[in-house]
Structure formats: structure tokens, C-alpha cells
Amino acid sequence: MDNHSKGFPMTQVFGFVLSLVLTFAALFVALKTSLSFNAIIWIIGTLAVIQAALQLFMFMHLKDGEDSKAQTINILYGIFIAVVTVAGSIWVMSFGM
């Protein structure tokens, strides 16, 4: 057995609690502040990127890998696919092509 399967998963619990804090911070910004729409969107987007990075490190064990080059390539590929999907969806919804 390796060290990750022993004991209480404290790092996962910490990551989960921190993810909840970021989610509720975004909820608070969206519902309880009188900021402009653009400011709210930028703050929520920033919190989302922070939460995605947190989850990569805490839950997907990005820092624990033996082959960090392959993990980096996989992460970059995933980001590329996400950007292409979002940009393509916006293009189709905006221009109808």
C-alpha cells in the first residue's frame, strides 16, 4: 500500500472546504454586491480559474505524478479543447454558422 491510501484524507477535505469557500464567495459576489455586471463576471471567472487549479492539485493529484511532462501535456490539451469548445459555441450562437 502506498501512503495515499492510509489514514484520513486531510488534503482532500481541505480542498473540498476551500472549493466550497470559493463557490460561496462567487455566490456572494453575484447576489450581494452592487458591482457592475462586467466586474462580477471577471471576479466569478477568476474564482472559477482558482478553483479549477485547486481541484487539479488537490483531487487529480497533479503534483504527485511521476511523469510530469505527460501530465502537463494532458492539462494543456484539455485547456485547448475547452477553449475551442467555448469559442466555437460562442461563434455559432453569435453568427449562426
- Residue 17 placed within a domain: yes
Q: Model confidence over 33-88: pLDDT tens digits?
A: 999 999 999 999 999 999 988 888 787 766 666 677 787 888 888 889 999 999 99
- Residue 2 placed within a domain: no
With beta carbons less than 8 A apart as the criterion, state whether 68 and 82 touch. no
CA distances from 37 to 41, 45, 49, 54, 94 (A): 6, 12, 18, 26, 20
> Does 48 share its domain with 78?
no
> Does 52 share its domain with 79?
no
* Torsion (CA) 59, 60, 61, 66 in degrees, nearest 10: 170
With beta carbons less than 8 A apart as the criterion, state whether 54 and 18 touch. yes
> Does 23 share its domain with 47?
yes
Query: How many domains, in total, are found in the chain?
Result: 2
> Does 71 share its domain with 60?
no
Q: Model confidence over 16-35: pLDDT tens digits?
A: 999 999 999 999 999 999 99
Its domain, for residue 56, covers 8-64
> Does 23 share its domain with 69?
no
